Amino acid sequence: MTLAFLAIAFVTVAAAAVAMALRNLIHSALLLVFNWAGIAAFYLWAGAEFVAFSQLMVYVGAVSMVVLFAVLLTQRSPQSFREQPDSISRVIGALLVGGAVLGVLFGAVLSSRLAPSAATATPTISVKELGSLLMGPHAAALLIVGVILTVTLIGAVIIASTDHAESGKDES
């Protein structure tokens, strides 16, 4: 059981590390997808079937496409990548942002109290219970997430459509 967890953790972290080291952005993006699949495997290991399959469907199926399209549409020739940073201020900014995110995540992980029996007892929650929990006590959170996603979607459509109209005017 622990061995399986260690294997999953190693593969997931290794995928992320290799993704950062590679120069080819598409390879990195595909390894990132692999990393997400590893997280899904971890959920499966932890007995959270529903979350694992949702993770696969949303991240491996949909978000991966967004990432790959973004990389393809913004990528210039491989030669245009510079290995040296532009200026000292950029380096400091990057380090500050990265350090802040790391600090927040570390603080959150360290300050969250874990139940001591979490590792031994495998919780078995059926999809039905999960659904009634989501629709009952956590309905507000679900609704807020739904509203945010809808607003994002409408915003994306508006940006895309106005952009299209302007470019049409330019051509004519």
Q: Does 60 bind another protein (CB under 8 A)?
A: yes
* C-beta separation of 31 from 15 below 8 A: yes
* Helices and strands per DSSP (H, E), number in the chain: 7, 0
Q: Does 72 bind another protein (CB under 8 A)?
A: yes
Q: Tell me how far, at minimum, the Cβ of 84 lies from another protein, in Å.
A: 27
Q: Does 46 bind another protein (CB under 8 A)?
A: no
CB neighbourhood size of 56 (10 A): 17
- CB-wise, 70 or 95, nearer to another protein? 70
- CB-wise, 11 or 49, nearer to another protein? 49
Interface pick for another protein out of 26, 91, 92, 95 (rule CB under 8 A): 26
Question: How far apart, in whole angstroms, are the C-alpha atoms of residue 59 and residue 51?
Answer: 11
Q: Tell me how far, at minimum, the Cβ of 127 lies from another protein, in Å.
A: 5
* C-beta separation of 64 from 56 below 8 A: no
Spatial CB neighbours of 124, under 8 Å, sequence gap ≥ 6: 47
Give residues in contact with another protein (CB under 8 A): 26-27, 30, 33, 49-50, 53-54, 56-57, 60-62, 64-65, 68, 72, 126-128
